[in-house]
């Protein structure tokens, strides 16, 4: 059993995270970030959406030489809220221009990872 002080350090357990990992060609990182900065996500209008971050891997010295790893990270109040987003008009609008990003930015397709909070 965790003490009240330790419990306060943990996030609310009812949470669901969706992450897409992107392998971006070296030298194209700023272009990739700019693409996300200019993109309209429509996430704020979706019930259950809690937050978004675009993450870039912090180099530790043993990274691949040909790409930089990024991850888009969305936080949802539940898996059901995330699933509803994927079926929504907002999702369709947010992804309508997905094919217009220069393909040479990407070294392969994004890798989706889904996480549920257990603690």
- Selection from 46, 16, 22 nearest residue 98 by Cα: 22
Whether 33 is in a domain gets the answer yes
Helix, strand, coil share of the chain (percent; to 5): 35, 30, 40
pLDDT for 12 equals 56
pLDDT tens, position by position, for the chain (119 residues)? 666 666 665 655 678 999 999 999 999 999 999 999 988 889 988 999 999 999 999 888 776 678 999 999 999 999 999 999 999 999 999 888 777 778 889 999 999 999 998 87
DSSP three-state, residue 94: helix
Whether 20 is in a domain gets the answer no
Whether 14 is in a domain gets the answer no
What range defines the domain where residue 84 resides?
Answer: 25-116
Whether 57 is in a domain gets the answer yes
Whether 6 is in a domain gets the answer no
pLDDT for 3 equals 67
pLDDT for 88 equals 92
Answer left, alpha or beta for residue 61, where phi above 0 means left and psi between -120 and 50 means alpha: left
Q: How many contiguous H segments (helices) and E segments (strands) does the chain have?
A: 4, 4
pTM for this prediction: 0.81
- Selection from 46, 40, 36 nearest residue 85 by Cα: 46
Q: Is residue 72 within 8 Å of 43, Cβ to Cβ?
A: no
Whether 106 is in a domain gets the answer yes
Q: Are strands 49-56 and 67-76 parallel, antiparallel or unpaired?
A: antiparallel
Domain total of the chain:
1
The CATH number of residue 106's host domain is: 3.30.70.100
Whether 48 is in a domain gets the answer yes
pLDDT for 10 equals 61
For residue 50, the 8-state DSSP code is E
């Amino acid at each position: 059993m965790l003490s009240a002080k330790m419990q306060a350090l943990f996030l609310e357990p009812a949470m669901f995270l969706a992450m897409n990992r992107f392998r971006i060609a070296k030298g194209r990182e700023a272009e990739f970030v700019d693409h996300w900065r200019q993109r309209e996500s429509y996430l704020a209008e979706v019930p259950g959406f809690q937050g978004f971050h675009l993450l870039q891997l912090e180099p530790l010295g043993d990274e691949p030489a040909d790409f930089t790893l990024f991850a888009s990270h969305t936080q949802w109040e539940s898996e059901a809220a995330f699933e509803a987003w994927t079926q929504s008009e907002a999702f369709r609008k947010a992804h309508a221009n997905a094919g217009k990003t220069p393909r040479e930015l990407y070294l392969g397709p994004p890798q989706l990872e889904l996480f549920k909070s257990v603690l």
